[in-house]
Amino acid sequence: MYWSKYFIPTLKEIPIGTEAISHQLSLRAGLVHMLTSGVYSYLPLGLKVLKRIENVIREEMNRAGATELFLPCLHPLEIWKQTGRDQTLKDVMIAFKDNRGREMCLGPTHEEIITDLVKSFVKSYRQLPVTLYQIQTKFRDEIRTRFGIVRACEFIMKDAYSFDKDVDGLTKNYDRMYEAYQRIFKRLELDVVIIKADSGAMGGDISHEFMVPAPIGEDFLIFCSSCGFSGAVSSDCDEGSTCPECKKTKLKKQIAIELGHIFQLGIKYSQSLKATFVDEDGKIKPMIMGCYGIGVSRVIAAIIEKHNDEKGIIWPKEVAPFDIEIIPLVGKDDAQEILTLADKYHQDLESLGFEVLVDDREETVGRKLNDADLIGIPLRIVIGKRNLSEGKVEIKTRGSSESELVDKDSVIKEIKGK
């Protein structure tokens, strides 16, 4: 891909009114654009990052035995009334009447909808367990949007739902998802803290949150600097309390971003919506449910918060919008040789499966290098007159202060070995 044919509207200055590093850099690097408070467009670079994150999640969900589907955003409010959550979530639910006078809402989540779907098809214990997931847009009328895409009115979530015949089955599915989440966040290079949490409006007896300590966020963790204990803040376990594990160190409080939350729901939704099955003994019983969410769009912000420097973003390899950026530094007298070599590298690397961005703009050297640091592609090939006169090309890893000069004919071999 050539920069001149792509759409990467980078900004030199920090946008007014932004406080979070991730918000600033996502706007400056041309990942997103704010349409209005809490509503964002994903620009080409941001969309590529989003899709790569989604691919990681899909691979691990499929590995855990879940099957993907896609549910509607538009919901009849009547389904929500059956569980009472039309009232529980009324402060954030976007509800309205359509042209036929039906009460509708834009889905803030999908427990009711998936339960209504599964009960239409699953009638016997022989059809259980079932685990389904989607990556879908959610809508919540947030009074206070914050930190860009961290708390937005329209956001992307991966939500999965399991249906079992008994608690043992739910426990097994829950453990599979717990392990899948650990793999997902490891691949995304996010060190999560997992804490037992309050189920809140979702219901159920057991839930765990997957948190990333960061300068921004709307949640708090307490942790022990001695033994590594961490947990949720409570009246018995708060900053200044003695660690319940080592019994020695005073606990400290830390801001964190919640990225994932998993729940053992039990029969809350299946009982309300009459999602039942016939068991081995011929009795009609409610299905036992679990649900498992990841805030996909806010993962982007979390990655940027944890992977940046004073120059810009430093993308982990698995989620970077491109694998390699080629920067031809073209002068008046050497344009043809440098551009020809850049084109050759581009073709050779893409034929090997790399996604490559060539900065072919007629810009200054400083602008090209600054933009390269800002957008944070993991590996950079810089082709300049001085080095090329000696048959050399510069290869640099983003985030490293060092670079290496390699023979121009050995570039592809060098990159394959990295």
HEC profile of the chain = CEHHHCCCCCCCCCCCCCCCHHHHHHHHCCCEEEEECCEEEECHHHHHHHHHHHHHHHHHHHHCCCEECCCCCEEEHHHHHHHCHHHHCCCCCEEEECCCCCEEEECCCCHHHHHHHHHCCCCEHHHCCEEEEEEEEEECCCCCCECCCCECCEEEEEEEEEEECCHHHHHHHHHHHHHHHHHHHHHCCCCCEEEECCCHHHCCCEEEEEEEECCCCCEEEEECCCCCCEEECCCCCCCCCECCCCCCCECEEEEEEEEEEEEEEECHHHHHCCCEEECCCCCEEECEEEEEEEEHHHHHHHHHHHCEECCEECCCCCCCCCCEEEEECCCCCCHHHHHHHHHHHHHHHHHCCCCEEECCCCCCHHHHHHHHHHHCCCEEEEECHHHHCCCEEEEEECCCCCEEEEECCCHHHHHHCC
Structure tokens at 380: 């950079």
Whether residue 176 is contained in a domain is answered as yes
Q: Can you tell me the distance from the alpha carbon of 384 to that of 329, in angstroms, rounded to the nearest whole number?
A: 5
Taking residue 233's Cβ as centre, other Cβ atoms within 10 Å add up to 17
User: What pLDDT score was predicted for residue 228?
Assistant: 82
Three-class SS string for 296-363? HHHHHHHHHHHCEECCEECCCCCCCCCCEEEEECCCCCCHHHHHHHHHHHHHHHHHCCCCEEECCCCC
Choose one of 309, 338, 373: the last residue of a domain.
309
Angle, in degrees to the nearest 10, between helices 296-306 and 21-28: 100
Distance of CA 379 to the CA centre of its chain: 22
User: What pLDDT score was predicted for residue 392?
Assistant: 96
Are residues 289 and 345 located together in one domain of the fold? no
Q: Can you tell me the distance from the alpha carbon of 415 to that of 418, in angstroms, rounded to the nearest whole number?
A: 5
Range of the domain at 364: 324-416
Q: Can you tell me the distance from the alpha carbon of 52 to that of 317, in angstroms, rounded to the nearest whole number?
A: 10
Are residues 193 and 335 located together in one domain of the fold? no
User: What pLDDT score was predicted for residue 363?
Assistant: 92
Q: Along the 418 residues of the chain, how does pLDDT read in single tens digits?
A: 999 999 999 999 999 989 899 999 999 999 999 999 999 999 999 999 999 999 999 999 999 999 999 999 999 999 999 999 999 999 999 999 999 999 999 999 999 999 999 999 999 999 999 999 999 999 999 988 989 999 999 999 999 999 999 999 999 999 999 999 999 999 999 999 999 877 665 556 789 999 999 988 888 898 888 988 888 888 778 899 899 889 889 999 999 999 999 999 999 999 999 999 999 999 999 999 999 999 999 999 999 999 999 999 999 999 999 999 999 998 766 688 899 999 999 999 999 999 999 999 999 999 999 999 999 999 999 999 999 999 999 999 998 888 999 999 999 999 987 7
Q: What is the CATH number of the domain that holds 392?
A: 3.40.50.800
Are residues 294 and 329 located together in one domain of the fold? no
Are residues 206 and 297 located together in one domain of the fold? yes
Are residues 384 and 267 located together in one domain of the fold? no
User: What pLDDT score was predicted for residue 287?
Assistant: 98
Are residues 287 and 341 located together in one domain of the fold? no
Whether residue 315 is contained in a domain is answered as no
Are residues 128 and 191 located together in one domain of the fold? yes
Are residues 284 and 153 located together in one domain of the fold? yes
Whether residue 411 is contained in a domain is answered as yes
Q: Which of 2, 8, 55 is nearest to 33 (CA)?
A: 8
Q: Can you tell me the distance from the alpha carbon of 223 to that of 86, in angstroms, rounded to the nearest whole number?
A: 36
Are residues 304 and 328 located together in one domain of the fold? no
Taking residue 235's Cβ as centre, other Cβ atoms within 10 Å add up to 6
Structure tokens at 375: 């957008």
Q: Which long-range contacts (CB under 8 A, 24 or more apart) does 41-45 make?
A: 43/7, 43/8, 43/9, 44/6, 44/7, 44/8, 44/321, 45/8, 45/321, 45/375
User: What pLDDT score was predicted for residue 46?
Assistant: 98
Whether residue 238 is contained in a domain is answered as no
Whether residue 102 is contained in a domain is answered as yes
Are residues 89 and 183 located together in one domain of the fold? yes
Q: With beta carbons less than 8 A apart as the criterion, state whether 135 and 160 touch.
A: no
Q: Can you tell me the distance from the alpha carbon of 16 to that of 33, in angstroms, rounded to the nearest whole number?
A: 13
Q: Which of 359, 37, 23, 398 is nearest to 214 (CA)?
A: 23
Whether residue 319 is contained in a domain is answered as no
Are residues 264 and 328 located together in one domain of the fold? no
User: What pLDDT score was predicted for residue 202?
Assistant: 59
Are residues 266 and 137 located together in one domain of the fold? yes
Q: Can you tell me the distance from the alpha carbon of 96 to that of 311, in angstroms, rounded to the nearest whole number?
A: 45
Whether residue 10 is contained in a domain is answered as yes
Instruction: State how many domains the chain has.
Output: 2
Whether residue 247 is contained in a domain is answered as no
Q: What is the CATH number of the domain that holds 302?
A: 3.30.930.10
